[in-house]
């Protein structure tokens, strides 16, 4: 089974537009939406959820006022400043370490595990989709990404899929690392802007750090010719292949408003560029 | 006053708004809290100097004193310690620096050392600070917290990380106003709802900036009207803005009439905070 992760360093570069089209084009793939923090794929694939998994990561401390004597020992030991006036825990700040529970002389603190997200196994018109929703303000996005990938692997096996296509999260942090580790190839979507190039370089470094070969796709390629060439030069120097270029166009927005993927919405030149990128990616994956 | 610029998602124009706002309003400072991908300075072109290497405390095991009881590893909620029969291994990448392991160690075998997670840099004027998370590093929040201590007394704008997870919360926490940047599309609406939920729950007054106005459908406007979220600015879909952006040029420099609009928006925000 081959695994592909689509990443971008920065959001809004057209990752989901591309990945959803790949979902439409791939014959036998399981799709995993690992952008768990702000998942969007479901808006285009309209999944029918067949199984829900609860996601629990770290506990949160709770101080029981009946027991608390107000000695303040917990406050002194909490390194995250999560214990507010009146010995109340700010759940957004609490990291769930359990130090307060440990140091409290009168056992006034308990650590409580709450559900902080959900993962779903779904059916779509293009095959299985595994996606998730992280509770607001929850950390451990990386762990939820790992859960999505684990479910996706099971689902792919069950359905005899030969490929898993992963829509990765933005950035270079823990979720991205979780979405990248162990995959066969990373497709980095970038754009010819100062910020795009900066983020491309950072995310390529992350992929290199984890030994994942990458391919690059330049979106909005006609917005700035000299920046586009800068990306090409960078890729040549790094020995990274460019899988294709996609012009600045309103097609993705129009398709999105209709709830469709590009390749379903139209067969114009824009869609052809997307298909071309997919062909290159397949070739690189050796399938 | 602290103003955060956030969005459920990246690529909606958060940095564009933060930078142009910063350049339009006198006597304010800017913190780039998007430490995974700090992009503000790509538009400001400041020379930066490093002011701080941010570290978190991680455990060091004194093998002389350690009896391999495993209490530290049992306590650690982040799996940063593994107690093997002959040795305790520390996975400092996973450590959050809570200090619990050294507290529970019965033999006083654990001390702490600083592990660098990133830098804080500033412009020579001191009006701009940015955090830069080390590559491969997962702990963004401690760096953001440290960065926020450089906010100063005046009005400060903070460019938040994308999403609604803890780095975003760390940035938005204790700010006076939150600007939510979105696009008028179904994706934009979906992400806006998530971000709006956060600020509502945190009871922070907020307003919406619609970027690339005119491209999508009316869903975002409708949502704002229904939920009483004020739309405080609309930036049109304009190829000139996109091209300026691609070159790293803030659009108030090529279209100076926009400075006035940002100033007006600042007045609106001050009203709302009062
Ligand atoms: S569990 Fe840790 S972070 Fe949470 S309040 Fe207790 S000491 Fe602070
Ligand atoms: S250590 Fe226990 S008793 Fe003391 S203030 Fe904290 S919760 Fe209350």
Complex ipTM = 0.78
Cβ contact A168:A6 at 8 Å? yes
Average pLDDT over residues B18-38: 93
* Mutation probe of ligand 1 site: the residue of A99, A103, A110, A138 with most atoms within 8 A of C-beta: A99
Of A79, A198, A227, which has the smallest distance from its Cβ to B246's Cβ?
A227
CA distance B245 to chain A (A): 7
Is A259 in a helix, a strand, or coil? Answer: coil
Closest CA to A200 of A185, A211, A216: A216
Is A228 in a helix, a strand, or coil? Answer: helix
> pLDDT value at position A249?
84
Average model confidence (pLDDT) for chain B? 91
Q: How many CB atoms lie within 10 A of CB A168?
A: 29
Q: How do residues A123-165 score in pLDDT, each as one tens digit?
A: 999 999 999 988 776 766 778 899 999 999 999 999 999 999 9
Please tell me the distance from the alpha carbon of residue B195 to that of residue B126, in angstroms, as a whole number.
30
Average pLDDT over residues A38-60: 89
Q: In the CATH scheme, what is the code of domain B56-115?
A: 3.30.70.20
Is pLDDT at A64 greater than 80 in this prediction? yes
Contacts of A225 in chain B (CB under 8 A): none
Q: In the CATH scheme, what is the code of domain B2-46+125-273?
A: 3.40.50.300
DSSP strand pairing (B88-90 vs A185-190): unpaired
Q: Is the CB of A83 under 6 A from ligand 1?
A: yes
In which band, very low, low, confident or very high, does the pLDDT at B166 lie, cut at 50, 70 and 90? confident
- Ligand 2: which residues within 6 Å by Cβ? A 63, 68-74, 87, 104, 106, 108-109
**CA distance readout (Å), A280 to A237, A249, A283, A287:** 20, 21, 5, 10
The full set of domain ranges for chain B reads 2-46+125-273, 56-115
Please tell me the distance from the alpha carbon of residue A170 to that of residue A176, in angstroms, as a whole number.
7
For chain A, report the end-to-end CA distance as a whole number of angstroms: 10
DSSP A187: E
Domains detected in chain A:
2-46+125-285 (3.40.50.300), 57-115 (3.30.70.20)
Please tell me the distance from the alpha carbon of residue A175 to that of residue A139, in angstroms, as a whole number.
10
Contacts of B168 in chain A (CB under 8 A): 137
Is pLDDT at B95 greater than 80 in this prediction? yes
Q: Answer yes or no: do B248 and A43 touch at CB < 8 A.
A: no
Closest CA to A9 of A210, A233, A229, A205: A205
Average pLDDT over residues A71-82: 94
Common-topology check for domains B2-46+125-273 and B56-115: no
Q: How do residues A91-130 score in pLDDT, each as one tens digit?
A: 888 989 999 999 999 999 999 988 888 999 999 999 999 9
A9, A10, A11, best to mutate vs chain B, most B CBs in 10 Å? A11
Of A38, A98, A137, which has the smallest distance from its Cβ to B169's Cβ?
A137
């Amino acid at each position: 089974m081959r695994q592909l992760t689509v990443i971008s360093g920065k959001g809004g570069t057209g990752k989901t537009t591309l990945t959803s089209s790949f979902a439409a084009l791939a014959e036998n793939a399981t799709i995993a939406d690992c952008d768990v923090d702000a998942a969007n794929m479901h808006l285009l694939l309209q999944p029918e959820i067949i199984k829900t998994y609860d996601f629990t990561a770290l506990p949160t401390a709770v101080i029981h006022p009946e027991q608390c004597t107000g000695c303040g020992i917990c406050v002194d030991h909490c390194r995250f400043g999560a214990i507010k006036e009146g010995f109340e825990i700010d759940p957004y700040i609490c990291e769930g370490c359990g130090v307060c529970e440990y140091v409290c002389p009168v056992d006034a603190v308990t650590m409580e595990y709450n559900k902080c997200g959900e993962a779903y196994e779904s059916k779509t018109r293009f095959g299985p989709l595994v996606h998730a929703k992280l509770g607001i303000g929850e950390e451990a996005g990386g762990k939820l990404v790992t859960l999505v990938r684990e479910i996706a692997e099971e689902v792919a096996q069950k359905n005899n899929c030969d490929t898993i296509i992963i829509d990765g999260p933005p950035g270079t942090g823990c979720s991205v690392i979780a979405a990248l580790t162990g995959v066969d190839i990373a497709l980095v979507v970038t754009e010819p802007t100062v910020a795009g190039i900066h983020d491309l370089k950072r995310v390529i470094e992350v992929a290199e750090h984890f030994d994942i070969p990458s391919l690059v796709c330049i979106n909005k390629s006609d917005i700035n010719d000299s920046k586009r060439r800068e990306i090409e030069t960078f890729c040549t120097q790094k020995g990274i292949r460019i899988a294709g270029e996609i012009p600045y166009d309103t097609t993705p927005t129009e398709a999105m408003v209709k709830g469709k993927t590009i390749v379903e919405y139209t067969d114009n030149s824009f869609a052809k560029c997307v298909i071309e990128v997919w062909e290159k990616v397949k070739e690189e994956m050796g399938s | 006053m602290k103003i955060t610029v956030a969005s459920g998602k990246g690529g909606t124009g958060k940095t564009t708004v933060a930078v142009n706002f910063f350049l339009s309003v006198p006597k304010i400072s800017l913190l780039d809290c998007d430490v995974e991908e700090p992009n503000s300075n790509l538009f400001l072109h400041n020379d930066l100097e490093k002011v701080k290497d941010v570290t978190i405390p991680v455990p060091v095991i004194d093998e002389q004193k350690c009896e391999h009881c495993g209490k530290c590893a049992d306590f650690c909620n982040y799996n940063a310690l593994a107690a093997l029969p002959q040795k305790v291994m520390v996975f400092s990448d996973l450590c959050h620096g809570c200090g619990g392991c050294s507290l529970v160690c019965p033999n006083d075998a654990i001390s702490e050392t600083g592990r660098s997670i990133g830098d804080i840099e500033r412009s020579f004027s001191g009006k701009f600070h940015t955090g830069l998370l080390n590559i491969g590093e997962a702990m963004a929040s401690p760096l953001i917290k440290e960065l926020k201590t450089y906010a100063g007394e005046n009005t400060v704008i903070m460019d938040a990380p994308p999403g609604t997870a803890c780095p975003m919360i760390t940035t938005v926490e204790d700010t006076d106003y939150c600007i939510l940047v979105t696009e008028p599309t179904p994706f934009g609406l979906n992400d806006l709802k998530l971000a709006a939920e956060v600020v509502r729950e945190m009871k922070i007054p907020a307003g919406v900036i619609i970027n690339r106005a005119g491209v999508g459908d009316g869903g975002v406007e409708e949502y704002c009207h229904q939920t009483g979220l004020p739309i405080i600015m609309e930036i049109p879909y304009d190829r000139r803005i996109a091209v300026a952006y691609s070159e790293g040029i803030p659009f108030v420099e090529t279209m100076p009439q926009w400075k006035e609009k940002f100033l007006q928006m600042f007045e609106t925000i001050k009203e709302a905070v009062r």
